[in-house]
A and B are shown apart, each in its own frame.
Chain A
Amino acid sequence: MTTLETRLRRDRGRKLLMPYLTGGVTPDWTDHLRAIADAGADAIEVGIPFSDPTLDGVTIQEASDVALARGATTDGVLADLSRNRVEVPVVVSTYANLALRRGAGRFCRSLAEAGVQGLIVPDLPLEEAGATSVAARAANVDLALLASPATPTHRLREIAERSRGFVYAVSLMGITGEREHLAASAAALARRLRGVTDRPVFLGFGISTPAQAAAAARDADGVIVGAALMRRLLDGADPASTAGFVRSLRTALDGVPARTTADAGG
């Protein structure tokens, strides 16, 4: 079992929380990282910004642009992570071009050297993930794969089988960004996934409020909250208020029984 898998366990006794933060988005972004870790996160997804984030909505596009304009690079973000180790696992997310640019092997090794334990590359579906998956395993980094509401069950099974660390359940057919309501497709996808895997299932995309996080966690093992947090950062939130938002998510998740009837199927 990898480190990430020992930390992100379905039977951890509480619903899991993975906030997302764009690397390099502010000069003090690692202070936010620390604040998030201390405010009750179980893991933190750190985005390495890409020039053309085709699966991201306006908020994370803006965060990526801001970070790139500040001079954020893969090496820079990893160096910051290396110098600012936090108590919870860090999962890096980025687009395929940044991972493949330096070769999957070198990229995954540089993640491991920076203390990163997991990797998400949304534009590497099953068919294209082979080399990166091998490289990640060799570097002891967990490559988590995405599943979507449109994914047929036989494919869900394969995704769950080949995903490491956790499975990223994309809650809706769409891009990242805040939504008024939790998508109806979220619960159904989480239940289908829990029916085919013992790995923790994280719901992400469009989970914007503590209430939505709690609702999503009724069927999933954990939630990923990105745009709602980044909107606050872009609007000037300091690390203390970032922590406040994360704590409100934590509190909401702690109100959801960790073992629900859905566990019978999972």
Chain B
Amino acid sequence: MEALALRGPTAAPVAGRFGRHGGRFVPEPLIPACEEVEAAFAEAWADPGFRGDLAWLLSRYAGRPTPLTPAVRLSAELGVTVLLKREDLAHTGSHKINNVLGQALLARRMGKRRLIAETGAGMHGVATATAGALLGLPVTVFMGERDVERQAHNVFRMRLLGAQVVPVRSGSRTLKDATSEAMRHWVSATEDAYYCVGSVIGPHPYPWLVRELQAVIGQEARHQCAEQLSAGTPDQVVACVGGGSNAAGTFAGFVDTPARLVGVEAAGGAGAALGEVGVLHGFQSLFLQDEQGQIREARSVAAGLDYPGVGPEHAHLRDLGRAEYVTATDEEALAAAVRLARAEGIVPAIESAHALAWVVRAAGTTDLPTGSSVLVTLSGRGDKDIATLTTYLGDEEAR
């Protein structure tokens, strides 16, 4: 596949709504900033010049298209055909670069002078720091203190790239609180700062904008599946879901095919599978919360999935019955990461391993019958998780 499959722009959802979800639940001071981003992106996304610049960066800088790798040994073990969409091979080691390059180009086009971002596992922070370095824009990343400790490798990478990392000490000290803090900072900085949201969350236009920028994953995968599978499309399309950007980008390529779409959440952060309708961080969707409406803290070994909600488009796809949302436990994800490492020589991020964990569990059942084909988006590589995986392996071997 030579050319990049940047599909034509999809119109913004009216009032930012995906069914009953989405919207723009932000304080009045942020309304003009959201409107400014919406107008600028709509205009840029319709401009072949902007799309050309992005396509150039995605291929010459970020390494797209990423391969679709048949997981031969794992497929033989499980009795299903497993194809891996290799976002772990994109520059910076995850799909986050797709989104960030688009938003950084947009920020520059809007005349913004710096970038702010939230991050969980640090992959979005690293990608933003990278784009900032590339385009000469200073970057400030908000990261929960707990994540700063458990993803120290990525904190170092961000600092190496010249970004400022601000540890967030409020609440659960994870992604939820980093997002709150980034929004607080943005209110005071809308003139010169561009808020580079890392997932398909936040106020309109972000869930739409980020999905548009991540749709390249699904578009490429669809072409690649057509080349590699005799049936043309896979029976199932599986991706992990925190906020849900790699899943949204993957699903965008298959939503109009018969493929079954499955989002796999962390058992301790299952907004789509277990959440109820609520409003947080500028959008209406499904959130883990108590009966009073206080948001519950997510708990996952995967910092990137440690979010109590899910992007509004996923909540809508669930409402429609078009996508299903299931969960994998910490233990299942860690075991799946090790299994992929040993069967295929690929160490996935623990986030991505949740998608694999579900495939491992479902293979051979009615959920994923023997002989069927499944596309799994491997959203990132596991270098950042080596310490966690080492501890896990040590415990396993001690047993």
| A240 interfacial by beta-carbon distance below 8 Å | no
How far is B257's CA from A199's CA once the two chains are assembled, in angstroms? 55
Number of A-B residue pairs, CB cutoff 8 Å, is: 112
- B292 near A73 with CB under 8 A, answer yes
| Stretch from A33-41, A48-56, A79-87, A225-233 at the B interface | A48-56
Contact check: which of A124, A125, A174 meets B188 at CB < 8 Å?
A174
| A210 interfacial by beta-carbon distance below 8 Å | no
Chain A residues within an 8 Å CB radius of B12: none
Contact check: which of B28, B191, B279 meets A97 at CB < 8 Å?
B279
Chain B residues within an 8 Å CB radius of A73: 292
Whole-angstrom distance between the Cβ of B351 and the nearest chain A Cβ? 22
- A147 near B28 with CB under 8 A, answer yes
- B294 near A96 with CB under 8 A, answer no
| B15 interfacial by beta-carbon distance below 8 Å | yes
| A59 interfacial by beta-carbon distance below 8 Å | no
| A235 interfacial by beta-carbon distance below 8 Å | no
- B190 near A128 with CB under 8 A, answer no
- B31 near A96 with CB under 8 A, answer no
Contact check: which of A52, A61, A95, A148 meets B29 at CB < 8 Å?
A148
| B170 interfacial by beta-carbon distance below 8 Å | yes
Chain B residues within an 8 Å CB radius of A145: 28
**Nearest-CB residue, chain B, relative to A174:** B188
| B32 interfacial by beta-carbon distance below 8 Å | yes
- A175 near B15 with CB under 8 A, answer no
Whole-angstrom distance between the Cβ of B207 and the nearest chain A Cβ? 15
**Nearest-CB residue, chain A, relative to B188:** A174
How far is B282's CA from A14's CA once the two chains are assembled, in angstroms? 37
Number of interface residues of A (CB under 8 A): 43
| A150 interfacial by beta-carbon distance below 8 Å | yes
- B28 near A151 with CB under 8 A, answer yes
| Stretch from B19-27, B260-268, B353-361 at the A interface | B19-27
How far is B92's CA from A116's CA once the two chains are assembled, in angstroms? 53
Within 8 A of B (CB), among A15-56: 50-56
- B27 near A55 with CB under 8 A, answer yes
Given contacts A61-B170, A128-B24, A174-B188, contact A149 B29 (CB under 8 A): yes
| B281 interfacial by beta-carbon distance below 8 Å | yes
Chain B residues within an 8 Å CB radius of A175: 184, 187-188
- B28 near A51 with CB under 8 A, answer no
Whole-angstrom distance between the Cβ of A63 and the nearest chain B Cβ? 13
Whole-angstrom distance between the Cβ of A170 and the nearest chain B Cβ? 6
Contact check: which of A57, A97, A123, A148 meets B184 at CB < 8 Å?
A57
Chain B residues within an 8 Å CB radius of A61: 170
| B111 interfacial by beta-carbon distance below 8 Å | no
Chain A residues within an 8 Å CB radius of B23: 127-128
**Nearest-CB residue, chain A, relative to B277:** A100
Chain B 279-306 interface mask (CB, 8 Å, partner A; 1/0): 1111000010101111100000000000
- A98 near B292 with CB under 8 A, answer yes
Chain B residues within an 8 Å CB radius of A159: 28
Q: Which 9 A-B pairs have the closest CB atoms?
A: A101-B293, A148-B29, A174-B188, A146-B28, A96-B279, A51-B294, A98-B293, A122-B27, A150-B32
Interface residues of B (CB under 8 A from A): 15, 23-29, 31-33, 170-171, 176-177, 180, 183-184, 187-188, 190-191, 277-282, 287, 289, 291-295
* A-B CB contact pairs (8 Å), 12 listed: A52-B180, A52-B295, A56-B184, A68-B294, A98-B293, A98-B294, A122-B28, A125-B27, A125-B31, A145-B28, A148-B27, A174-B187
